[in-house]
């Protein structure tokens, strides 16, 4: 497929260097991320020993939504993902802007959280005394700067770094699975816990499972980031369906096996206490295993999350600037590196602010909530855009799947799922900020002829 030209600005196009193997590693690396390293214990607090079930249900919901994404990315193989599809389906500037803002927030909060986690793991791995908050922040800022430089250097360099980091974080999860299999084969562990539902007081089993699924869904997000790389992928119409389905299935199997290994070796009550549940699994199943190695692996895992999310955020801004939803300056591409350099600088500055000022510990649930709302819109957009034919063949999802995807995502985003109230409060604050930024952008663009379409 030919590169997308930009005759009106005479900007260079993005560089198509991503083939099937690199795209698969991008999808797998983005989904694995940091979520499973921290969420297994929290999900265990919700459902007890049946911790594998919410991960399985989250995989099913993600798979339903992936069908809609695949229809849309093969129909419109351009950067910007969900925001682009919303813009084409509804043509409402406010809705498009808010979807753009929500997706950007999800990426930047994840990247900023990962940067802080990297700083903490860096101190533990090298046995450094960085308990001082300023020193910890300095390490996080230095790390996100390095991510920005890799991102600016080129998409080829970025995806190659992603290959290395994905292999490392995948190795960490395979170690957990291997330790679980070794221990269970030796007669250790308790598989009967897998059917135990130790629900919180006053909760039904169904409510506990849905609350656990809403939480576990954070570990499954990431596949949607890949569609923002469509303009840097070779023949996206042909390779995206096979690669995305393969990546989702690989990560879904890994998550379920990790959950089974974890709860079989560590009691759910112990697994749910503290911030390092998988480290407890290693300690229980292989006491002689050098734990500092796992600290390094965790550090690389969070580094990968930061890199992928910052790549996604900068391409999102680039794509929506090309659609004239955001100021055109955000769509500028560096002529030598062929990367969206203004978007990279802008998103990095926002990440600096989040790292410096924000307490990101509780933003995982908010990130999942925002993305579930976005996924609901994408599933509906998939159905609406059936009336917009294109001049090439593309993937088409069975109509019932986007319908089920929209209903499932809307349910998990609603209070009916048992989601924590704090998620809605934080999301509300972010969306109020988004409304304010939309008003400023809309007012400014009124003075630029043609700056806003519809």
CA distance linking residue 71 with residue 208, whole number of Å = 33
**Once rounded to an integer, what is the mean pLDDT over residues 339-355?**
89
- Rounded to the nearest 5°, which phi and psi values hold at 79? -70, 165
**Once rounded to an integer, what is the mean pLDDT over residues 403-407?**
97
| Residue 124 confidence (pLDDT) | 63
As to burial, measured by CB atoms within 10 angstroms (0-12 exposed, 13-18 middle, 19+ buried), residue 124 is: middle
Say yes or no to pLDDT of 357 above 80: no
Q: Is residue 451 part of a domain?
A: no
DSSP class of residue 233 equals: B
CA 454 to chain centre: 30
Q: How confident is the model at residue 212 (pLDDT cuts 50, 70, 90)?
A: confident
Q: At 335, which CATH number?
A: 1.20.1740.10
Best-predicted range by mean pLDDT among 193-202, 260-269, 296-305? 260-269
Q: Is residue 116 part of a domain?
A: yes
Q: Is residue 454 part of a domain?
A: no
Residues 6+ apart with CB under 8 A from 67: 382, 397, 398, 401, 402, 405
Spatial contact of 45 and 186, defined as CB atoms under 8 Å apart: no
Q: Which two tokens stand for residue 327?
A: 């100021």
Q: Is residue 9 part of a domain?
A: no
What angle do the packed helices 155-185 and 20-32 form, to 10 degrees?
A: 60
Return the minimum-mean-pLDDT range out of 3-17, 169-183, 185-199. 3-17
What's the structural domain count of the chain? Answer: 1
Say yes or no to pLDDT of 69 above 60: yes
Instruction: Look up the domain containing 239 and give its range.
Output: 20-445
| Residue 364 confidence (pLDDT) | 64
Q: Is residue 11 part of a domain?
A: no
Q: How confident is the model at residue 451 (pLDDT cuts 50, 70, 90)?
A: very low
Residues 6+ apart with CB under 8 A from 417: 210, 211, 213, 214, 411
| Residue 322 confidence (pLDDT) | 79
Q: Is residue 5 part of a domain?
A: no
| Residue 400 confidence (pLDDT) | 97
Q: Which is more confident, 434 or 10? A: 434
Residue 233: beta bridge partners? 18
**Once rounded to an integer, what is the mean pLDDT over residues 171-193?**
89
Q: Specify the 3-state DSSP secondary structure of 18.
A: strand
Q: Which two tokens stand for residue 14?
A: 């993005």
Using one digit for the tens of pLDDT, what is the confidence trace for 148-180?
999 898 877 777 887 888 888 889 899 999 999
Using one digit for the tens of pLDDT, what is the confidence trace for 75-116?
999 877 888 899 999 999 899 889 988 888 888 877 887 787
Q: pTM of the full predicted structure?
A: 0.81
Using one digit for the tens of pLDDT, what is the confidence trace for 121-150?
677 666 665 555 677 788 889 999 999 999
Q: Is residue 3 part of a domain?
A: no
Q: Is residue 2 part of a domain?
A: no
CB count in 10 Å sphere of residue 69: 27
């Amino acid at each position: 497929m030919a590169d997308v030209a930009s005759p009106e600005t005479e900007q260079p196009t993005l560089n198509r260097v991503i083939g099937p193997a690199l795209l698969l590693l991008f999808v797998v690396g983005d989904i694995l991320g940091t979520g499973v390293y921290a969420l297994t214990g929290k999900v265990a607090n919700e459902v007890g020993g049946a911790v594998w079930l919410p991960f399985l249900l989250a995989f099913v919901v993600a798979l339903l939504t992936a069908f809609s994404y695949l229809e849309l990315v093969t129909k419109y193989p351009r950067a910007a993902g969900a925001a682009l599809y919303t813009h084409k389906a509804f043509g409402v500037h406010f809705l498009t802007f808010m979807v753009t803002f929500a997706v950007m927030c999800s990426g930047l909060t994840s990247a900023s959280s990962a940067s802080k986690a990297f700083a903490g793991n860096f101190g533990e791995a090298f046995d450094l005394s960085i308990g001082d908050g300023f020193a910890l922040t300095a390490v996080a800022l230095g790390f996100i700067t390095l991510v920005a430089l890799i991102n600016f250097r080129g998409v080829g360099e970025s995806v190659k770094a992603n290959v290395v980091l994905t292999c490392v974080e995948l190795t960490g999860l395979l170690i957990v699975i291997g330790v679980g299999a070794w221990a269970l084969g030796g007669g250790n562990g308790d598989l009967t816990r897998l059917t135990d539902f130790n629900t919180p007081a006053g909760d039904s089993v169904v409510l506990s499972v849905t609350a656990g699924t809403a939480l576990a869904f954070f570990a499954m997000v990431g596949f949607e980031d890949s569609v923002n790389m469509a303009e840097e992928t070779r023949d996206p119409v042909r390779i995206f369906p096979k690669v995305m389905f393969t990546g989702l299935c690989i990560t879904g199997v890994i998550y379920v096996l990790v959950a089974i290994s974890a709860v079989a070796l560590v009691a759910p009550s112990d697994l749910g206490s503290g911030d390092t549940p998988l480290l407890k699994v290693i300690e229980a199943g292989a006491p002689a295993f050098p734990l500092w190695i796992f600290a390094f692996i965790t550090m690389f895992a969070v580094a990968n999350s930061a890199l992928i999310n910052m790549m996604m955020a900068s391409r999102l801004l680039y794509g929506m600037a090309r659609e004239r939803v955001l100021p055109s300056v955000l769509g500028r591409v560096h002529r030598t590196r062929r990367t969206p350099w203004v978007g990279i600088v802008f998103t990095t500055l926002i990440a600096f602010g989040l790292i410096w000022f924000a307490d990101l510990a509780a933003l995982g649930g908010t990130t999942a909530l925002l993305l579930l709302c976005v996924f609901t819109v994408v599933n509906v957009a998939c159905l609406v855009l059936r009336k917009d034919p294109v001049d090439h063949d593309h993937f088409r999802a069975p109509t019932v799947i986007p319908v089920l995807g929209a209903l499932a995502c809307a349910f998990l985003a609603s209070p009916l799922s048992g989601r924590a109230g704090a998620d809605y409060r934080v999301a509300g604050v972010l969306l109020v900020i988004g409304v304010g930024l939309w008003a400023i952008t809309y007012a400014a663009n009124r003075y630029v002829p043609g700056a806003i379409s519809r």
